[in-house]
Amino acid sequence: MNQRTIAERISCTGIGVHSGAPVRLTLHPARPDTGIVFVRTDGNHPVEIPARAEMVASTTYSTTLGRGSATVATVEHLLGALYGLGIDNVRVEIDGPEVPIMDGSAGSFVLLIRAARVYEQSVPRRVLRVRRAIDIRDGAKRIRIEPSRSFKVTYRIDYEHPAIGRQSLESLELYNGVFEREVARARTFGFVNEVEAFWEANLALGASFDNTVVLDERGVVNQEGLRWRDEFVRHKALDLLGDLALLGVPLRGHVKVERGGHTLHQQLVARLLASPEAARLRRPLPAAVSEAPVPALASA
């Protein structure tokens, strides 16, 4: 498959879930091999921040990218939408410190991208193909990737809460609209008993029932309830897709996660980029297929 971008510029406005700040975000088409690039436009000069693993500044409660003093927080839902729809090249201009939370899912970004229309480019897509398993453990948390002919996600969570408990997605594959139907609209979630601690840390200042599934000790507080009974694990899978987008290329392998989060996701991304014996960059050519080690990504 060739690389893809969007056909025309399109914008949206909203607020940051943690900053509470209003923000305008505009997606622009980009040339092949550009990748996803965020551009902070609210300073004296625009600052470009490529959506790449080496630009990760924080994984505390969200994924934040940074370059110098310029940062863009909560990038995972937009990146998840771009990854799930197979968009390789986009310039994302933003006039604030955080991607708008919209309804707490990637659904609004999917609608935005669909409205701008997907445009196939003439340059072949490169794919990072897993050749050997990588396994990372942190207590009860675990993330593992195994060779697979396609991209698959198995995600399991376990919360001691009556509305969540043990939930799992098994061998999810993103084809024939599966991402849009099964993952994109899953919303972020939070707990009432954590709100004061978040506020004291100047976090969740823009959170509300309109953009967060809120849980008290008994169940879901939101009047409209859940979109799926297992919306929680579906949202975790969305976060994973957004974090994997920071590889800079699509991935071919089976990712298995137990009780994961942004920090664990980024540990896998870092290991993949640092392990050419475990994953190699596949470069389709007109007459043949060649393979190059992962470090070639850094100069792409």
Residues 186 and 291 in one domain: yes
Q: Are 99 and 74 in contact (CB under 8 A)?
A: yes
CATH number at residue 208: 3.30.1700.10
Question: Which of 70, 105, 124 corresponds to the end of one domain?
Answer: 124
Q: What is the pLDDT of residue 56?
A: 98
Of 79, 98, 124, the domain-final residue:
124
Tokens of 117: 């229309």
Mean of pLDDT over the chain: 92
Q: Contact 151/174 with Cβ under 8 angstroms?
A: yes
Residue span of the structural domain in which 68 resides? 2-124
Q: pLDDT tens digits for 98-150?
A: 999 999 999 999 999 999 999 999 999 999 999 999 999 999 999 999 999 99
Which pLDDT band holds residue 285 (cuts at 50, 70, 90)?
very low
102 and 155 share one domain: no
Residues with active-site annotation: 262
Kindly tell me if the per-residue pLDDT of 297 is higher than 60: no
Q: Do 175 and 277 belong together in one domain? A: yes
Q: Are residues 187 and 246 in the same domain?
A: yes
Q: How confident is the model at residue 48 (pLDDT cuts 50, 70, 90)?
A: very high
What is residue 20's predicted lDDT score, i.e. its pLDDT? 93
149 and 203, same domain (yes or no): yes
| Torsion of the alpha carbons at 228, 99, 236 and 130, rounded to the nearest 10 | 130
Q: Quote the CA–CA distance of 194 and 209 in Å, as a whole number.
A: 15
Final residue of a domain: which of 109, 124, 139? Answer: 124
User: 283: pLDDT confidence band, cut at 50, 70 and 90?
Assistant: low
pLDDT tens-digit map of 75-97: 999 999 999 999 999 999 999 99
Span between the terminal Cα atoms of the chain, in Å: 18
Q: Mean of the pLDDT values across residues 175-183?
A: 93
Looking at the structure, tell me whether residues 103 and 137 fall in a common domain: no
